[in-house]
Amino acid sequence: MVNPLTPVLTKRWTEPRSWTIETYERTGGYTALPKALKAHPDQLIQQCKDSGLRGRGGAGFPTGMKWGFIPQGDGKPHYLVINADEGEPGTCKDIPLMMADPHSLIEGVIITSYAIRANFAAIYVRGEVLHCIRRLNAAVKDAYAKGYLGKDILGSGFDLDVVIHAGAGAYICGEETALLDSLEGRRGQPRLKPPFPATSGLYASPTVVNNVETIASVPFIVNGGADWFREMGRDRSPGPKIYSLSGHVTNPGQYEAPMGTTLRQLLDMAGGMKDGIPLKFWTPGGSSTPLFTAEHLDVPLDFEGAAEAGSMLGTTALQIFNETVSVPWAVMKWTEFYKHESCGKCTPCREGTYWLVQILQRMVAGNGTASDIDTLLDVCDNILGRSFCALGDGAVSPITSGIKYFKDEFLALCDQNSKVLAGANA
């Protein structure tokens, strides 16, 4: 039986000076790299496919399959880009990982680059996390000094350069094609897909873009094997996952548990709801994933479980709100965020989020009208699936799910004529 918590990525965090190369090597770090470099790159891709590892940045795309999409023998340079632009509201797993154990990411980067035949990798970190950037830079420097980076790594003939790239404050750059544009020194605006980054990514060359937690898992998979990884979690969503509990919970923090763990189990380990005030609503994976309520305490939190219950696993950022919080207010705050972060490239998202904020602010100020809920849902309908990238889809999630579960609260903000809102039955 697998334990309720399975510290793999977080295990080293409790070591003194966990971020140093000395600690990393003393606790088994850089042992996967020499093994990987002796294998054929295609064996590493196959192992990653066999492990069932899925992207930890929100979408859950199978990682090995993504690596396999890179055309080989095409004569073009290949690139690995790490998406460390963590900014989805509620999400706070990659930042502590990079602060506490930057070398696990670096070792994962080297192995992945070898697998996809990339000789240049960039770690795109959001600019607001200076301490992470500092530790990552030091880790890269130390890895060069030890011969883990640079020319002819460990005598394998494989060369790799890694750069730590600080972003400059733009949530949209967490979208992989916006991130690539930003890394190319442009405004961070998403690209039309196809072509996908696998064929036309950084500098129009084949590129893998992966999340921090995903790539930090790679050295463990190389050392433990695919079957070991699959001992944790569920069949289609295997492995351990860092669940980030925040908000009205007694002991918020990072809990690394097998995929498919429920909020009830996590809350139990986290000391329950703060001050015993009951749970009202929560996000399973950041504000872009539709809200859950107390009815969803036993939903297995993996990609399938969250989807079957009408939401998404996202980044396993569990923002927990008790009965004292107004849903329309929370939804308004999130909508203000999406409006601020909309890059402006496509009309539905740029204009839609602007109008959504206007309506919600008016409602929360007590000046709602009978038609507001209809209008909100209508605007949402014109954003969802009609925007350039997933930011627009994410922006409507709190609104539509908030109205779905807490319509009475929205109605209470509207005027006396609220009975005419027959159409607003989302």
Which positions from 149 through 188 interact with other proteins, judged by CB under 8 A? 163-171, 182-188
Of 65, 154, 269, 421, the residue at the interface with other proteins (CB under 8 A) is 269
Q: Residues binding other proteins: what is the number (CB under 8 A)?
A: 104
Does the protein bind other proteins through residue 225 (CB under 8 A)?
Answer: yes
Nearest approach in angstroms of CB 245 to other proteins is 6
CA distances from 181 to 152, 158, 166, 167, 369 (A): 30, 27, 14, 12, 42
Does the protein bind other proteins through residue 14 (CB under 8 A)?
Answer: yes
Number of CB atoms found within 10 A of residue 333's CB = 15
Contact stretch for other proteins (CB under 8 A) within 45-53, 109-117, 359-367, 400-408: 45-53
Nearest approach in angstroms of CB 376 to other proteins is 17
Q: Distance between CA 109 and CA 214 in Å, rounded?
A: 10
Number of CB atoms found within 10 A of residue 404's CB = 15
Contact stretch for other proteins (CB under 8 A) within 84-92, 290-298, 372-380, 383-391: 84-92
Does the protein bind other proteins through residue 203 (CB under 8 A)?
Answer: yes
At 266, which amino acid appears?
L
Which pairs from 153-157 meet CB under 8 Å and 24+ separation?
A: 153/33, 153/37, 153/110, 154/33, 154/34, 154/37, 156/37, 156/38, 156/114
Collapsing DSSP to helix, strand or coil, 121 comes out as: strand
Q: Which of residues 97-136 bind other proteins (CB under 8 A)?
A: 99-100, 120, 126-131, 133-135
Collapsing DSSP to helix, strand or coil, 21 comes out as: helix
Beta-sheet pairing, 79-84 with 120-125? parallel
Contact stretch for other proteins (CB under 8 A) within 147-155, 193-201, 211-219, 247-255: 247-255
As given in the structure block, the two tokens for residue 98 are 């990079």
**DSSP element (H, E) containing 151:** none
Per-residue mark of binding to other proteins, 347-386 (x: CB under 8 A): ----------------------------------------
Does the protein bind other proteins through residue 330 (CB under 8 A)?
Answer: yes
Cβ proximity to other proteins: between 43 and 361 the closer is 43
Of 4, 272, 366, 423, the residue at the interface with other proteins (CB under 8 A) is 4
What does R_g of the chain's alpha carbons equal in angstroms? 22
